[in-house]
Amino acid sequence: MKPIIHQITDGECIYVPKFYGTDFADRYFSNFIEGITWTQEKMNRFDREIKFPRCMAFYGDTGKTYSFLKTPFILVIGLPHLLKLKPI
């Protein structure tokens, strides 16, 4: 199926119909909207601090180090709904 792009505040949501069943997808979408802690990180560019042009949330495996543009990020651990999707 062709993806459908929904514009949302400060971003977009890409929806692929029937990728998951309707009940499963609705439940997980609600969990993510309500349960993810979004942040707008900052970076140094051209001798000034500027905000990334998007909100981000970093989730990962315990004991792993993650970085973007040589900047390490603090991971949020313990989003059980996300962990359940990992094997899919």
Say if residues 55 and 38 touch (Cβ distance below 8 Å): yes
Contacts 24+ apart (CB under 8 A), 74-78: 76/37
Which residues form the domain of 22? 4-85
Number of structural domains in the chain: 1
Predicted model pTM: 0.45
Mean pLDDT of 62-87: 71
CATH of the domain at 53: 2.60.120.590
Question: Which pLDDT score, from 0 to 100, does residue 22 have?
Answer: 86
Segment 5-53, tens digit of pLDDT: 988 888 888 888 888 888 988 888 888 778 777 788 788 888 999 988 8
Question: Which pLDDT score, from 0 to 100, does residue 78 have?
Answer: 59
**Going along the chain, which residue ranges are E strands?**
4-8, 11-15, 42-45, 48-51, 67-68, 71-72
Give the integer Cα–Cα distance in Å for 88 and 71.
30
